[in-house]
Amino acid sequence: MSISSQPPESGPDLAAYLDRLGIGAAPSALPPTLATLRTVQRAQLLAIPFENLDPVRGIVPALEVPALEDKLVRRRRGGYCFELNGLLSAALTALGFTVRPLAGRVVLGVGDEGWASRPATHLALAVDTEEGTHLADAGFGAL
């Protein structure tokens, strides 16, 4: 699985994405600032739910931007961290942010001794703004 900080050649359909999130602004009105990052991340968290039905059913979700847009934007489904943060990464990159993928471990319910042996199975994002680097995560389904 690869998520690039470079915009895909076809790029995400930002108008459809922002409409799905309920953001009425045109993409050109959303500069790569901390305020925009907060707005977009919060809107995605509220609009697109965590859903892991496909992996539980043994279906391997496609992680390319067109497939993510089809499932999460057009068909209005939810997704798990690689899908949700993959879409968020593509959208933020298209808005002008520099985005880097981060692998993480989920350690809820794991004692102090067991966390280091957990596999890195979660995707989060490091997003650069003029105000610094920030953690963005629209794909955590617990609590």
Annotated catalytic sites, by residue?
A: 81, 122, 137
The DSSP result for 29-52, as a single string, is: G--SSHHHHHHHHHHHHHHS-B--
Q: How far is CA 86 from CA 42, 101, 110, 111, 131, in A?
A: 16, 9, 27, 30, 23
Largest CA-CA distance found in the chain, in angstroms, rounded? 48
Cβ-based neighbour number of residue 9 at 10 Å = 6
Decide: 100 and 5 in contact? Cβ < 8 Å: yes
Cβ-based neighbour number of residue 91 at 10 Å = 28
